[in-house]
């Protein structure tokens, strides 16, 4: 009997949560109108939109007026960097990031500051706090950006310490929690926070950006009623995002513990494959993310081999993998940048599916090495 395919590439685009699907269909009936209109249909859409913002704000721990919906996660990150840089231009124009931030953060930082500082990380992708302190304490820093946890290898960052250093220097901290919200407790150590509904099982088309009222911002673009999302966002997508976040938050503890165990099981089995290195902190990490690198293997070929075996996985940089470019995250860690496989376990994954994948990796790696003439090296 043919076995079903197993989807293990849920980072940034998880399977749509049943709660999100139900909410989306309901909102398509009740919230299709323009929420800026004054008629009954428009007011009903506005009510749904406002309710969604309030629910997401409550879960993230901010005030409703601090919660903004954007066209998507990349848009949130770009808008945050540009708005703070513009709002604090009298302080300076420097931007500090870690070397393993999402590509959207790094490109936005370089857009406003050609000499943006990328603070180095250790072998697990954790930022060097001593170097971070020196970077954010330098004169003229407008903004610092540090992810909650790395979306490729799962390592959590020392956010509390990093935020304290930023506060001492008077520098706002943007936290990219796109890989964390819905899976892990993000906490309150941030001044701006971007979250990705697609990562927690909402349909594409909306992003989340929280900006503390104490942060000075100025929109660099043309004036609009909603400066964070010119023209507004889709009400059904916003309703679905809130419904999915409510559902995954309620089940987060149980789901995280189960997937944490599955990743630990995978780390153990993959470490037994010859010339395979499992990356990231084995304990202080996200519950569902894992990356491993294989010597003498081409990443694209290994993705194809695993795809033919029935497993959907990622490779290259998590945010530029459409081009299968070498991962800047792995390069910053000093790890092998080729032959890497990245997985993000969806909530629905079963123990049997994970075991099937673990059993398939060794033969797939061996087959690719044989194809490339790299056997016995």
218-238 pLDDT, tens digit each: 988 788 888 899 989 999 999
Looking at the DSSP bridge assignments, the partners of residue 26 are: none
Give the contacts of 245 (CB within 8 A, at least 6 positions apart). 55, 56, 59, 181, 182, 197, 200, 202
Task: Answer whether residue 146 shows pLDDT above 60.
Answer: yes
CB 155 within 8 A of CB 125: yes
CA angle 18, 24, 30 (to 5 degrees): 140
Q: Tokens 């913002």 appear where?
A: 53
Cα 348 to its chain centre, rounded Å, is 19
Phi, psi at 208, each rounded to 5°: -125, 130
Cα separation, 242 vs 249, in Å, equals: 10
Cα separation, 206 vs 282, in Å, equals: 32
What is the greatest pairwise CA distance in the chain?
73
Question: pLDDT tens across 66-119, in order?
Answer: 999 999 999 999 999 999 999 999 999 999 999 999 999 999 999 999 999 999
Q: What is the CATH number of domain 18-250?
A: 3.40.640.10
DSSP 213-277: TTS-----S---SSTTSTT---HHHHHHHHHHHHHHHHTHHHHHHHHHHHHHHHHHHHTTSTTEE
Cα separation, 343 vs 331, in Å, equals: 18
Active site residues: 319
Domain limits, the chain: 6-15+252-371, 18-250
CB 68 within 8 A of CB 209: yes
Give the contacts of 136 (CB within 8 A, at least 6 positions apart). 96, 144, 165, 166, 169, 171
Cα 48 to its chain centre, rounded Å, is 26
Say which range, 28-42, 68-82, 135-149, has the weakest mean pLDDT: 28-42
What architecture does CATH give domain 6-15+252-371? Alpha-Beta Complex (3.90)
Output the average pLDDT for the chain. 93
pTM for the whole thing? 0.94
Say which range, 27-31, 74-78, 335-339, has the weakest mean pLDDT: 335-339
Confidence class for position 375, pLDDT limits 50, 70, 90: low
């Amino acid at each position: 009997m043919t076995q079903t395919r197993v989807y293990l590439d849920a980072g940034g685009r998880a399977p749509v949560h049943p709660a999100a699907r139900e909410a989306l269909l309901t909102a398509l009936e009740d919230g299709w109108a323009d929420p800026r209109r004054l008629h009954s249909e428009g007011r009903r859409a506005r009510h749904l939109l406002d309710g969604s913002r309030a629910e997401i704000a409550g879960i993230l721990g901010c005030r409703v007026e601090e919660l903004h919906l954007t066209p998507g996660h990349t848009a949130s990150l770009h808008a945050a960097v540009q708005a703070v840089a513009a709002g604090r231009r009298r302080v300076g124009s420097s931007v500090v990031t870690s070397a393993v931030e999402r590509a959207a953060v790094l490109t936005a930082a370089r857009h406003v500051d050609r000499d943006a500082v990328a603070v180095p990380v250790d072998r697990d992708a954790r930022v060097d706090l001593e170097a971070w302190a020196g970077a954010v304490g330098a004169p003229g820093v407008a903004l610092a950006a540090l992810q909650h946890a790395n979306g490729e290898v799962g390592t959590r960052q020392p956010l509390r310490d990093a935020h304290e250093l930023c506060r001492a220097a008077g520098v706002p901290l943007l936290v990219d929690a796109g890989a964390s919200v819905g899976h892990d407790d993000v906490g309150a150590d941030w001044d701006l926070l971007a979250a990705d509904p697609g990562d927690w099982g909402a349909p594409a088309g909306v992003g989340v950006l929280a900006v503390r009222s104490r942060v000075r911002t100025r929109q660099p673009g043309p004036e609009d009623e909603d400066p964070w999302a010119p023209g507004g966002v889709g009400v059904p997508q916003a309703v679905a995002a809130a419904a999915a976040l409510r559902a995954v938050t309620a089940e987060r503890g149980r789901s995280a513990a189960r997937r944490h165990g599955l990743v630990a099981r995978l780390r153990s089995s993959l470490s037994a494959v010859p010339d395979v290195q499992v990356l990231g902190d084995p304990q202080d990490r996200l519950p569902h993310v894992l990356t491993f690198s294989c010597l003498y293997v081409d990443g694209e070929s290994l993705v194809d081999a695993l795809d033919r075996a029935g497993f959907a996985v990622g490779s290259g940089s998590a945010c530029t993998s459409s081009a299968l470019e070498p991962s800047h995250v792995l390069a910053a860690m000093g790890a092998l940048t080729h032959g890497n496989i990245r997985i993000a376990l969806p909530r629905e994954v079963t123990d049997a599916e994970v075991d099937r994948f673990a059993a398939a990796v060794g033969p797939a790696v061996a087959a690719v090495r044989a194809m490339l003439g790299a056997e016995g090296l």
